[in-house]
Structure 1
Amino acid sequence: MDTTANGPTRVPPHDGGGTRVVLDGTTLTAGDLVALADGTAVPAVAPGARARAVRSWRAAQRLATAGRLYGRGTGVGAQRSVAVAPDDEAAHGLRLLRSHAGGAGDLLPARQVRALLAVRANQLLAGGSGIQPAFVDALTDALRLGVHPAVNEYGGVGTGDLTALAQTGLTLIGERPWLDTRREHPADLPPDGLPAPVTLRPGDALALLSSNALALGQAALAWHDLDVLLRATHAVAALSLAAVSGSPEAYAAPVHALRPYPGAARAAAEVRRLLGLPERPPGQGRRIQDPFGFRAFPQAHGCALDAADRLRTVVEVEINCPTENPLVAPDGSGAYHHGGFFAAPLALALDGLDLALLQTAQLSAARLTALGDPGLTGLTPFLAVGPAGSSGTMILEYAAHSALAELRASADPASAGHAVLSRGLEEAASFAGQAARQTLRATRAYATVLACELVAAVRALRLHPAPPPVPAFTLAAAALPAGTDDRPLTGDVTTATELLPRLAEL
């Protein structure tokens, strides 16, 4: 796993390796969305979904002739009561895109912007936006061709990713250059290697902007990467439990059947499976009770598993439904002005996951400390082998707690923020985008904490007279350096981090 500042870096092939993800506005999964973002799949638009988008577009045109629609026949925000002349609606839309394309900060990595494109295309196919279907075609063409808009980091507050989608809109109509996804610079491609520019029509601008597509895409990516790490945690915690000859009683199936939280039961079952333990493990370990890092692992880690499942559920609801304001009724009978763009469910799910992740990360750091304690392992302090005073794995605690501090900062709930905008008309915000960025940061930090524990657990088991013959140890021991002399452990942690996805698959 690549843990650079931009997250995992993958070079999307233009053909997606032959794998296709069907966009139909109703059934896109978080996993399929990630495949589109990573370029391991290409989109295919379901004909029925495109027909639904056509009907929505035509319905919006009919409704606009019968009365003003917000953002089409009016200004937006505090300008909502300012009428726009019918012959100025197209120009008004262009001004709307230009004025809202004021994103700031660093450019986002291609992976996140591709996720935005996939989310927005699928949402538009749900048929509530009233946008012309040519925008769906251009969004999916961009994914297939390996190009993406330049999108800045800051601009959304969880009431619609306005700046990101305005920048996307200006790129779709040909006012801004496309970036080459493989090289992250303006695409030096022939015209037939770029999406055809879309001609902006009345109503298109706000219809495109009314979405939290960027935050949803980032949330899906964070969920995917965290799902890998949370599964890998079972293997790492199991190795640590074996290294301290811990009691398996805390993982017994009857314990978790009586307090039936799905995540806790799953965490306990995975540790039993990875160590080859029965549902009712016999006897105790070296102690009648272990420290919390081992004894309370299923309870803490189970919360993270449950929170990750909750986030996936929220993401999959949001990417498969129309949230545009105004919302064109499916039967074309009317348009509803509403607050479905307010991303409170997403922000709260992300914040909840960050808090749960902090809980299990703190136990990982606690297990790392325990692995350096001779009273728990029966081994040398800090697993040092060499002259008296050798430091062994001592520094790993510092690295883990440095990353843990990042996790702790990321767990400060973004949804607790507050903003009053547009002359007081918008007096609250969910800050879902900020929550998504915090979860992405927390994911990278958690990988480091877990990798530090893995390095120490493998070293401890190597020093045991009889290491457990389990696949997790065999795999990790084959990959990690075998030397126990005092030396820089950066390479060991890097190797351990890269090993986590393989452990997740055991």
Structure 2
Amino acid sequence: MELDGTSLTCAQVATGGPVSIASLDRARAAWRTARSLTGPVYGQSTGVGANKDTSVQEGGFDLLRSHAGGAGPLVSERRARAMLVVRLNQLLAGGSGVDPALLPVLAEAINGGHTPPVRTYGAIGTGDLTALATTALCLLGEREWRGSGPGPRFPLSSADALPFISSGAATLADAALAVHQVKLLLDAAIGVAARTFTAVNASAEPLARAVHEARPQPGQADVAARLRGLLASEEAVRVQDPYGFRAFAQVHGAAVDALARAQRAVEVDLNAANENPLFDGELAWHNGNFHAAPIALALDALRAALVPAAQLATARLATLMEPAYTGLLPFLAGRQGDSGAMILEYVAHDALAELRLLSAPVTGGTAVISRGTEDHASFATQAARAALRCVEPLEIVLACELVAARRALAERGAPGERDRPLDTDLDAAREELRLVSG
């Protein structure tokens, strides 16, 4: 994967693999500008936060040591690696003023499987200071890298300190991973729904092209077209089906649209110079590009959109338990009175409840810190973390529908299954969703 500061995608952040650097030109230009300035520059000739009016000399190392103070468990190496990829790509976009010789060393860390010991808690959507300060201390040799063997070192200068940590790279990495994984699941959900449509002989009439041309919501039309292509053309057996079928394209399409907006927002910032100060031309521009309000808002909308999509999956699951729709025994049981697949509804609603909890918006909150100097926060960090946590319950809801739909199709014209544990079926269905979506 070649990083150029302009074209990194969520899928590439999630993919892994070695990285290479296209060009250091923009990083070098910003570094030359930073070295040429003689006036006050935030974080280099001044303190930070409420200390912005205090002149300092060579205070960068103290800044790194004081800010490497996260708490809680270590994030996974996958998430920490994604953070390094994002930060490297941002630095290649230019504007930071860090020594460009640092960038190949970051690539060396990524390619060597080394990640910093980043703690879970320590950011509020205005910069991942604790995570990146910890990374800087690894580069200086004051903290140990995670991974096999000694990690790379680089002699950061005091002037490199704030420019290196002034970024939301960890938040963006989580956001990119979440967007990619949710996209794969929303794609796979269309195939799961196609099985359920077939199992209950649901009408394809609500998916007709004319219906969606009359209301041209892009996600809705796309979902309807894709599901149409998966269904056999058969005569409808009912005038109207429940909403889980009749409104599938509208509800699932809304989630697809929310995902597209979130992906656009995240990918803009993956390739942006969100630096403060921004070294451009011959000046240092003090600014607020580090504030992640667009990411928080987009991820709030995405998490909210996943709930109705999952609700309809549980509604279709309930339909699969009904003899009036399947022509089979209640709960897809093997004999009258057995529980069959009843437990899948409990599991699905447990996971759905988790999704509802995770859908709470972060953008209604704020924080005032550093003696009132920093008087707003986006909490995009929490939005991204919650979006990542949405993947598991969404996958479980879809797995419940998949297990039930497969069972309903298998029992057509064949003896039903006797009662048995379904946990291994759910594990297999979740793995299938990952394979199909991946």
Of residues 411-420 and 490-499 in structure 1, the stretch that sits farther from structure 2 once superposed is 411-420
Where in structure 2 are there 5+ consecutive unaligned residues? none
Q: Distance in 2 between matches of 1:248 and 1:290?
A: 10
Are 2:228 and 1:228 equivalent residues in the alignment? no
Q: Distance in 2 between matches of 1:289 and 1:309?
A: 30
Alignment check: 8 A CA contact 1:135 1:172 kept:
no
Which residue number corresponds to residue 32 of structure 2? 58
Partner amino acid for 1:501? R
Are 2:317 and 1:368 equivalent residues in the alignment? yes
Partner amino acid for 1:241? F
Q: Distance in 2 between matches of 1:135 and 1:384?
A: 63
Q: Distance in 2 between matches of 1:465 and 1:503?
A: 28
Are 2:88 and 1:118 equivalent residues in the alignment? no
Which residue number corresponds to residue 314 of structure 1? 265
Structure 1 residues 271-323: Cα deviation after superposition (integer angstroms, max 9, x where no partner): 1111144xxxx74x222111111111000100111111112111111011101
Partner amino acid for 1:337? H
Which residue number corresponds to residue 4 of structure 2? 24
Partner amino acid for 2:189? T
Where in structure 1 are there 5+ consecutive unaligned residues? 1-20, 181-186, 467-481
Task: Give me the TM-score of the superposition, normalised by structure 2.
Answer: 0.97
Partner amino acid for 1:206? L
Are 2:393 and 1:442 equivalent residues in the alignment? no
Are 2:376 and 1:428 equivalent residues in the alignment? yes
Secondary structure at the residue paired with 1:416?
A: coil
Secondary structure at the residue paired with 1:335?
A: strand
Secondary structure at the residue paired with 2:72?
A: strand
Q: 2:343 aligns with which of 395, 398, 412?
A: 395
Alignment of 1:167-186 (within 5 A): 167-180=134-147
Q: Distance in 1 between matches of 2:248 and 2:224?
A: 8
Alignment check: 8 A CA contact 1:368 1:452 kept:
yes
Alignment check: 8 A CA contact 1:57 1:133 kept:
yes
Alignment of 1:97-108 (within 5 A): 97-108=64-75
**Shift of residue 203 of structure 1?**
2.1
Q: Distance in 2 between matches of 1:35 and 1:504?
A: 13
Are 2:277 and 1:326 equivalent residues in the alignment? yes
Which residue number corresponds to residue 42 of structure 1? 18
Are 2:427 and 1:494 equivalent residues in the alignment? yes
Alignment check: 8 A CA contact 2:363 2:379 kept:
yes
Q: Distance in 1 between matches of 2:351 and 2:81?
A: 28
**Shift of residue 393 of structure 1?**
0.5
Q: Distance in 2 between matches of 1:162 and 1:415?
A: 20
Structure 1 residues 24-66: Cα deviation after superposition (integer angstroms, max 9, x where no partner): 1111122222223xxxx2111113xx12211211110111xx2
Which residue number corresponds to residue 408 of structure 1? 356
**Shift of residue 483 of structure 1?**
7.5
**Shift of residue 121 of structure 1?**
0.3
Q: Distance in 1 between matches of 2:130 and 2:173?
A: 15
Are 2:417 and 1:484 equivalent residues in the alignment? yes
Which residue number corresponds to residue 106 of structure 2? 139
Of residues 437-446 and 370-379 in structure 1, the stretch that sits farther from structure 2 once superposed is 370-379
Which residue number corresponds to residue 270 of structure 1? 226
Of residues 117-126 and 312-321 in structure 1, the stretch that sits farther from structure 2 once superposed is 312-321
Partner amino acid for 1:25? G
Partner amino acid for 1:53? A
Partner amino acid for 1:148? T
Q: Distance in 2 between matches of 1:320 and 1:224?
A: 16
Change (3 A) 1:114 1:315: same
Task: Give me the TM-score of the superposition, normalised by structure 1.
Answer: 0.84
Q: Distance in 2 between matches of 1:463 and 1:35?
A: 39
Of residues 115-124 and 223-232 in structure 1, the stretch that sits farther from structure 2 once superposed is 223-232
Q: CA RMSD, aligned part only? A: 1.5
Partner amino acid for 1:27? S
Alignment check: 8 A CA contact 2:348 2:397 kept:
yes
Q: Distance in 2 between matches of 1:101 and 1:164?
A: 7
Alignment check: 8 A CA contact 1:420 1:426 kept:
yes
**Shift of residue 261 of structure 1?**
1.1
Alignment check: 8 A CA contact 2:27 2:100 kept:
yes
Q: Distance in 2 between matches of 1:291 and 1:432?
A: 37
**Shift of residue 457 of structure 1?**
0.5
Query: 4+ runs of 1 displaced by more than 4 Å?
Result: none
Which residue number corresponds to residue 454 of structure 1? 402
Q: Distance in 1 between matches of 2:67 and 2:382?
A: 19
Partner amino acid for 2:123? G
Q: Distance in 1 between matches of 2:436 and 2:126?
A: 38
Are 2:81 and 1:83 equivalent residues in the alignment? no
The total of aligned residue pairs comes to 438
Q: Distance in 1 between matches of 2:307 and 2:109?
A: 37
Which residue number corresponds to residue 16 of structure 1? none
Q: Distance in 1 between matches of 2:295 and 2:322?
A: 41
